[in-house]
């Protein structure tokens, strides 16, 4: 089997490459680093230093290494929608869209055209294949590093062609293996931020360079009375409490809704920030749709608390309602909700984007 390993320059993908080479032989494995963002960045996985780290690790492992420039596709499929979503008052997840559109779409296609049988990545997740040949997407062995949430849009076509070599390892085991192999990334810190946003200027500066930001008014969710102002409606997120002030009872206020066109942000007390469920669109399934009435476990962020829920038909084509067993914090429109099997909460069954 010929395997293309996506090497970001971090320790996880470095060890994934080493394990792939050990299993299939270095002559059947090639490392590829994606050049996605050509603008200013001091974080993420697209810096010159990250490319150099990946190249040096590949050299150490005896692997051929190439850099694939997918910057145009990244701008079109990830950055532009990210900006447009903010302009519409949504809160997008660019890392999930990068996985959906770039790593498990364009990269898989590039690998196929180059004659590779599979693509391996350094994600902390597991792929299990049953006797029938159908694949399952399962949480990584390290619960603190599990990345099944950001992979929850994968289906059978993608899972048939991807491998997660470190999915059964803890982060400590990954670092120990990198140290044993003498890899330069063994002690390298994990990447935490969105790769195209600088940590020193942040999201506000990035968006301000691309769209007009508009001041808005804070309105009480119950009475409609004005209670304050925000500098930019496009930077506010449903569920946000920072910068929203306090009510007359001294309790913090939370964002319950955003209307960019009206320049209005509705806020309320903590109980107003709770919801009984969410409606999802852009539905994807690991192994076929799960219908209304099915019990699931919903996870609303990368390391969010799993929420027991039931699927319902909202009466709108292409949508699905997730009804929480108990009220939970509102999920911002534009975010992804991953759905897990209620009888096996480690197994992903699908995902959707909050309407």
What pLDDT digit, counting tens, does each position of 225-242 carry?
999 999 999 999 999 999
Average pLDDT, the chain: 95
pLDDT tens digits, residue range 22-70? 999 999 999 999 999 876 555 556 677 899 999 999 999 999 999 999 9
pLDDT tens digits, residue range 293-325? 999 999 999 999 999 999 999 999 999 999 999
Mean pLDDT of the region 139-153: 97
Tell me what pLDDT residue 43 has: 57
* Catalytic residue flag (residue 46): no
Question: What is the C-alpha to C-alpha distance for residues 138 and 141, in angstroms, rounded to an integer?
Answer: 9
Residue 245: pLDDT band (50, 70, 90) is: confident
Residue 173: pLDDT band (50, 70, 90) is: very high
Question: Which uninterrupted H or E stretch holds 63?
Answer: none
Q: Give 46: exposed, middle or buried? Use CB within 10 Å, 0-12, 13-18, 19+.
A: buried
pLDDT at 125 over 60: yes
Q: Considering 45, 46, 98, 300, which one is annotated as catalytic?
A: 98
CB burial of 177-215 (b: ≥16 within 10 Å; e: otherwise) equals bbeeeebbbbebeebebbbbbbeeeeeeebbeeeeebee
Tell me what pLDDT residue 190 has: 87
Higher-confidence residue of 100 and 201: namely 100
Q: Considering 45, 46, 195, 300, which one is annotated as catalytic?
A: 195
Q: Is the pTM of this model over 0.85?
A: yes
Contact 337, 278 (CB under 8 A): yes
pLDDT tens digits, residue range 323-344? 999 999 999 999 999 999 999 9
pLDDT at 102 over 70: yes
* Catalytic residue flag (residue 300): no
Tell me what pLDDT residue 205 has: 94
Domains and CATH numbers, the chain: 3-122+165-180 (3.40.50.620), 212-268 (2.30.30.280), 275-354 (2.40.30.10)
């Amino acid at each position: 089997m010929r395997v293309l390993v996506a090497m970001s320059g971090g320790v996880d993908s470095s060890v994934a490459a080493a394990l792939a080479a050990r299993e299939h032989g270095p002559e059947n494995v090639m490392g590829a680093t994606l050049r996605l963002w050509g603008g200013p960045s001091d974080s993420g996985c697209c810096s010159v230093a990250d490319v150099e780290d990946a190249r040096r690790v590949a050299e150490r492992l005896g692997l051929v290494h190439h850099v694939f420039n997918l910057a145009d596709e990244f701008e079109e499929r990830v950055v532009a929608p990210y900006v447009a979503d903010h302009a519409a008052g949504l809160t997008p997840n660019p890392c999930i869209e990068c996985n959906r559109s770039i790593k498990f779409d364009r990269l898989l296609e590039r690998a196929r055209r180059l004659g590779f049988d599979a693509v391996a990545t350094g994600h902390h997740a597991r792929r299990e294949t049953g006797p029938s040949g159908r694949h399952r997407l399962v949480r990584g062995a390290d619960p603190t590093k599990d990345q099944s949430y950001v992979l929850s849009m994968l289906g059978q076509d993608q899972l048939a062609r991807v491998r997660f070599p470190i999915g059964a390892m803890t982060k400590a085991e990954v670092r120990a293996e990198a140290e044993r192999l003498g890899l330069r990334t063994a002690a390298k810190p994990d990447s935490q931020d969105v790769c195209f946003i600088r940590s020193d200027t942040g999201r506000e500066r990035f968006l301000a360079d691309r769209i007009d930001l508009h001041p808005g008014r804070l309105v009480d969710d119950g009475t409609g009375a004005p209670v304050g102002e925000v500098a930019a409606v496009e930077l506010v997120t449903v569920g946000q409490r920072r910068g929203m002030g306090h009510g007359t009872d001294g309790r913090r206020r939370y964002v319950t809704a955003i209307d960019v066109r009206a320049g209005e942000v509705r806020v309320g007390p903590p109980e107003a920030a709770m919801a009984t469920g969410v409606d999802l669109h852009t539905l994807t399934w690991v192994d076929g749709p799960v219908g209304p009435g099915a019990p699931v476990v919903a996870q609303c962020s990368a390391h969010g608390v799993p929420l027991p829920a039931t699927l319902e038909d909202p009466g709108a084509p292409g949508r699905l309602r997730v009804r929480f067993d108990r009220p939970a914090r509102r999920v911002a429109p534009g975010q992804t909700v991953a759905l897990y099997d209620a009888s096996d909460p480690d197994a992903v069954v699908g995902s959707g984007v909050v309407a």
